[in-house]
Structure 1
Amino acid sequence: MVRSTHGPSTTPELSRSQQEPGRGGEAGAPAHRWWVLCIIGIAQLMVVLDATIVNIALPSAQRELGFSDGDRQWVVTAYALAFGSLLLFGGRLADLIGRKTTFLIGLIGFAVASAIGGAAPNFEILVMARALQGAFGAVLAPSALSLLTTSFTDPRERGKAFGIYGAIAGAGAAVGLLLGGLLTEYLDWRWCLYVNLIFAFAAFAGGLRLLRPGAPSDRPGLDIPGTVVVSAGLFCIVYGFSNAQQHAWGAISTWGFLLVGVVLLVAFVWWQRRAVHPLLPLRVVGDRDRGASFLAMFISGAGMFGVFLFLTYYMQRTLLYSPVKTGVAFLPLVAVLVVTSMTTTNALVPRFGAKPIVPTGMLLSGGAMAWMTTLDRDSTYAAHVMPPLLLLGLGLGLIFATSLNLATAGVRAHDAGVASALVNTSQQVGGSIGTALLNTLATSAATHYLSGKRPTPAVVAQAQLHSYSTAYWWSAAFFTFGFLITFLLFRPGVPRAPEAAPEESATPAAI
Structure 2
Amino acid sequence: MLGAADVPTRTSRRTAPPTWLVVALACAGQFLVVLDVSVVNVALPSMRADLGLGGSGLQWVVNAYAIAFAGFMLLGGRAGDLYGRKRMFLVGLALFTLASLAGGLAREGWELLAARAAQGLGAAVLAPSTLTILTAAVPEGAARARAIATWTAVGAGGGAAGGLVGGLLVDGLSWRWVLLINVPIGAVVLLGALWWLPESRAGDGRRLDLPGALLVTAGLGTLAYGISQTEASGWTAAATLVPLVAGLALVGLFLLVEARTAAPLMPLGLLGRRAVSSANAAMFLSGSAMFCMWYFMTLYAQNVLGYTPLEAGLALVPSSLAVVVGSKVAPRLMRYAGARKVAVLGTVVAAVGFGWQSTISADGTYLTAIMIPGILMMLGAGLAATPLAALATSGVPTGEAGLVSGLINTSRVMGGSLGLAVMSTIAAARTEGSGAPVALTEGYALAFRVSAVVLGVGAVMMAVWLPRRGGSVGAPS
C-alpha distance 444-8 of structure 1, shift in aligned 2 (>3 A): closer
Q: Which residue pairs with 1:324 in the alignment?
A: 310
Contact in 1 for aligned 2:141/2:471 (Cα 8 Å): no
Distance 1:6 1:351 in 2: 27
Distance 1:7 1:43 in 2: 21
Provide, for residues 190-245 of structure 1, a one-character-per-residue CA deviation record: whole Å limited to 9, x for no partner.
Answer: 00000111221121111011112354431311111111111111112111111011
Unaligned 5+ segments in structure 1 are 18-29, 451-456, 499-511
Amino acid at match of 1:158: R
SS in 2 for 1:244: helix
Q: Which residue pairs with 2:54 in the alignment?
A: 68
Q: Which residue pairs with 2:22 in the alignment?
A: 36
Instruction: Map residues 21-420 of structure 1 onto 2, 5 A cutoff.
Output: 31-213=17-199, 215-345=201-331, 347-420=332-405
Contact in 2 for aligned 1:351/1:494 (Cα 8 Å): no
Aligned residues: 474
Unaligned 5+ segments in structure 2 are none
After superposing the two structures, state which structure 1 stretch, 169-178 or 211-220, moved more: 211-220
Distance 1:54 1:380 in 2: 27
* Structure exhibiting the larger radius of gyration computed from Cα positions: 1
Distance 1:214 1:88 in 2: 18
Amino acid at match of 2:304: T
Contact in 2 for aligned 1:350/1:495 (Cα 8 Å): no
2:455 corresponds to 1:479: yes
Contact in 2 for aligned 1:352/1:494 (Cα 8 Å): no
Moved over 6 A (4+): 4-8
C-alpha distance 342-496 of structure 1, shift in aligned 2 (>3 A): closer
Higher relative contact order (CA 8 A, sep 6+): 1
Q: Which residue pairs with 1:509 in the alignment?
A: none
- By how many angstroms is 1:296 displaced? 2.1
After superposing the two structures, state which structure 1 stretch, 155-164 or 288-297, moved more: 288-297
Contact in 2 for aligned 1:350/1:494 (Cα 8 Å): no
Provide, for residues 123-149 of structure 1, a one-character-per-residue CA deviation record: whole Å limited to 9, x for no partner.
Answer: 111111000000011000001111011
Provide, for residues 262-284 of structure 1, a one-character-per-residue CA deviation record: whole Å limited to 9, x for no partner.
Answer: 12212222222221111112233
Q: Which residue pairs with 2:426 in the alignment?
A: 441
Amino acid at match of 1:303: A
- By how many angstroms is 1:317 displaced? 1.3
SS in 1 for 2:340: coil
C-alpha distance 286-465 of structure 1, shift in aligned 2 (>3 A): same
Distance 2:430 2:180 in 1: 38
Amino acid at match of 1:11: T
Amino acid at match of 1:352: A
Provide, for residues 483-504 of structure 1, a one-character-per-residue CA deviation record: whole Å limited to 9, x for no partner.
Answer: 1221111122564699xxxxxx
- By how many angstroms is 1:3 displaced? 5.1
Distance 1:397 1:217 in 2: 34
Distance 2:441 2:102 in 1: 38
- TM-score normalised according to structure 1 size: 0.89
- By how many angstroms is 1:313 displaced? 0.6
Amino acid at match of 1:209: W
C-alpha distance 122-493 of structure 1, shift in aligned 2 (>3 A): same
Provide, for residues 85-132 of structure 1, a one-character-per-residue CA deviation record: whole Å limited to 9, x for no partner.
Answer: 000111111111101111011111001100110011011111110000
**Between the two proteins, what is the percent identity of the paired residues?**
35
Q: Which residue pairs with 2:2 in the alignment?
A: 2
Distance 2:184 2:270 in 1: 35
Q: Which residue pairs with 1:465 in the alignment?
A: 441
Contact in 2 for aligned 1:6/1:217 (Cα 8 Å): no
- By how many angstroms is 1:326 displaced? 1.1
Distance 1:397 1:7 in 2: 29
Q: Which residue pairs with 1:26 in the alignment?
A: none
Distance 2:228 2:463 in 1: 30
Amino acid at match of 1:461: P
